[in-house]
Amino acid sequence: MIRHTVVFRLKHAPGSEAEHDFLQAACALANIEGVQKFECLRQVSAKNPYTFGLSMEFADAASYAFYSDHPDHSAFVQQRWIPEVEEFMEIDYEPTGGL
């Protein structure tokens, strides 16, 4: 299992229609084959600069690569993510395996 997460802050005003529209578009990434447990989340800690997060799981590295290379993902990154996201950090998790 690989859990891919990204925490981010948009250029849009909080509560705006543009914010809502971006999040709706992000949710469509859940439809790419191999994406499991997709979540769109609100980031609520004051200890970092981010306001939203996406989380999803893949069975293995091949499924993750299929997602990353998928034309729908590439189009979202180019057409929505790069122009509309102010700041972000990607964090990926795997089980520690018996630690």
Single out the residue of 6, 8, 3 nearest to residue 52, CA to CA.
8
Q: What track of x and - describes contact with its own copies for positions 63 through 82 (by CB under 8 A)?
A: --------------------
Q: What track of x and - describes contact with its own copies for positions 40 through 59 (by CB under 8 A)?
A: xxxxxx-xx-x-xx-x----
Single out the residue of 67, 38, 51 nearest to residue 10, CA to CA.
51
Q: Which is nearer to its own copies, 27 or 77 (CB)?
A: 27
Positions in 12-31 near its own copies (CB under 8 A): 20, 23-24, 27
Query: Residue 7 in 3-state DSSP?
Result: strand
In the complex, the smallest distance separating the C-beta of residue 45 from its own copies, rounded to whole angstroms, is 4
Q: Choose one: 36-44, 67-75, 76-84; the region binding its own copies (CB under 8 A).
A: 36-44
Phi/psi for 18 (5° steps) reads -65, -40
Single out the residue of 18, 14, 19, 28 nearest to residue 77, CA to CA.
28
Rule CB under 8 A: which residues touch its own copies?
2-3, 7, 20, 23-24, 27, 39-45, 47-48, 50, 52-53, 55, 89-97, 99
